[in-house]
């Protein structure tokens, strides 16, 4: 098998990199395919341990195959302004119920392969109430010289002149249309983002928006991190709340707290809560929100988690404290993993937007004597290969 060969393969699984098949005893990844399908693919890349095939034709389609809503979805987009697929979505060709089942299987397989957990306690994936139009934030790029305003292609480099995003909330698409009609005069290529808040207001940059979660209103700058699925934020918070309540803990140490979403949303059931966040602007707004709501029992520290964790632990009763971890996609650094394992708190809840790095970090927690008691996938990212998970560990 060499680059340029056209091969017929049967898909036996779906991984983050696409459908998985074997040909001539070699693994082949074929994006935009589904388990059980017989397809024709062209080999476009050869790696040490696998090959990548571009889908040419579906010979025997899966019953779960549906027509993608976005015209710029792969493998061969229709519009002339999309010479290659948009990189935002990977699963628009799969019925949503099957997407949820795929993600559960992927979380199980990843925990087995990376963390060495024989029978991972993974629940059914919680789906989004709406599988399209759910995103409250879109990030775009403008190329004034080419007169393009749009999104990155699947190669993460090419800029596509795409006028709307099907997974973005409709007010964001309206705002994008307005922006594209009269962009600001700029000479250089630049990136920008727009976000929709709970009131329906679209903002960008440092403009302050309002996010209401479970009856609690947070003021958040548009350029600060906040969960992207506006329809599942409250559900994600409730998943964490249930686990803290079940543990009988009234003290929370919220690492990577951002603007304080979890700590502030759960404040009324806590005797004390401490948040740690490296983004100083986010910490400022966490403090502002806490003070505005009258939560004097909450504190927020700015700095690296591994440095602030010991300081925070001096202020909380270890045996009655839950450690909440909600790191960026890269997961915990070596230093943070060491600090968490050394702290040896009795209860850890880990919220992750990447189940691969979650499994890697889970392996370290298991080696430190923790038990993985449950994993709840929450599909914050329908139509994509990403999925949020809430994992619970007990000492």
pLDDT of residue 1: 86
Express each pLDDT in 102-114 by its tens digit. Answer: 999 999 999 999 9
The b-or-e profile of 142-173 (16+ CB within 10 A means b, else e) is beeeeebbbbbbbeeeebbbbebbbbbbebbb
Res. 189: pLDDT tops 90? no
Q: Left, alpha or beta for 258 (phi > 0: left; psi -120 to 50: alpha)?
A: left
| Mean pLDDT of all residues belonging to the chain | 95
* Residue ranges per structural domain of the chain: 6-60, 100-129+226-394, 137-205
Architecture of the domain whose range is 100-129+226-394: 3-Layer(aba) Sandwich (3.40)
Distance CA 37, CA 18 (A): 12
Express each pLDDT in 341-353 by its tens digit. Answer: 999 999 999 999 9
Express each pLDDT in 146-180 by its tens digit. Answer: 788 889 999 988 999 999 999 999 999 999 999 98
The CATH homologous superfamily to which domain 6-60 belongs is Nucleic acid-binding proteins (2.40.50.140)
185: buried, middle or exposed (CB in 10 Å: 19+, 13-18, 0-12)? Answer: exposed
Res. 336: pLDDT tops 90? yes
Res. 391: pLDDT tops 80? yes
Res. 395: pLDDT tops 90? yes
Res. 185: pLDDT tops 90? no
């Amino acid at each position: 098998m060499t680059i340029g060969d056209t091969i017929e393969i049967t898909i036996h699984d779906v991984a983050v990199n696409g459908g998985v098949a074997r040909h001539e005893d070699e693994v082949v990844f074929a994006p935009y395919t589904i388990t059980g399908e017989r397809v024709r693919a062209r080999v476009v890349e050869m790696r040490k341990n696998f090959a990548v095939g571009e889908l040419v034709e579906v010979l025997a389609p899966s019953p779960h195959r549906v027509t993608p809503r976005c015209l710029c979805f792969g493998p061969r987009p229709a519009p002339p302004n999309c010479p290659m697929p948009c990189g935002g979505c990977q699963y628009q060709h799969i019925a949503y119920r099957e997407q949820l089942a795929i993600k559960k299987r992927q979380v199980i397989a990843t925990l087995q392969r990376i963390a060495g957990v024989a029978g991972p306690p993974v629940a059914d994936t919680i789906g989004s109430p709406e599988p399209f139009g759910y995103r409250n934030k879109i990030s775009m790029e403008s190329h004034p010289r080419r007169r393009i305003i749009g999104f990155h292609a699947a190669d993460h480099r090419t800029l596509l002149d795409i006028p709307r995003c099907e997974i973005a909330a409709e007010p964001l698409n309206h705002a994008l249309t307005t922006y594209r009609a009269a962009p600001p005069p700029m000479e250089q290529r630049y990136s920008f983002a727009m976000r929709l808040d709970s009131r329906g207001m679209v903002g960008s940059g440092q403009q302050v928006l309002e996010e209401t979660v479970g009856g609690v209103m947070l003021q958040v700058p548009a350029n600060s991190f906040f969960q992207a699925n506006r329809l599942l934020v409250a559900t994600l918070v409730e998943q964490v709340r249930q686990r803290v309540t079940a543990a009988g803990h009234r003290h929370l140490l919220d690492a990577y707290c951002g603007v304080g979403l979890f700590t502030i949303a759960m404040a009324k059931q806590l005797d004390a809560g401490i948040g740690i966040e490296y983004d100083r602007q986010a910490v400022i707004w966490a403090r502002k929100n806490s003070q505005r709501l009258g939560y004097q029992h909450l504190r927020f520290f700015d700095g690296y988690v591994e440095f602030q964790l010991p300081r925070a632990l001096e202020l909380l009763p270890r045996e009655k404290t839950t450690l909440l971890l909600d790191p960026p996609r890269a997961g915990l650094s070596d230093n943070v993993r060491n600090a968490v394992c050394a702290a040896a708190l009795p209860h850890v809840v880990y919220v992750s937007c990447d189940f691969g790095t979650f499994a890697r970090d889970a392996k370290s927690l298991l080696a430190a004597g923790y038990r993985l008691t449950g994993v709840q996938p929450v599909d914050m990212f329908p139509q994509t290969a990403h999925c949020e998970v809430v994992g619970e560990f007990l000492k």
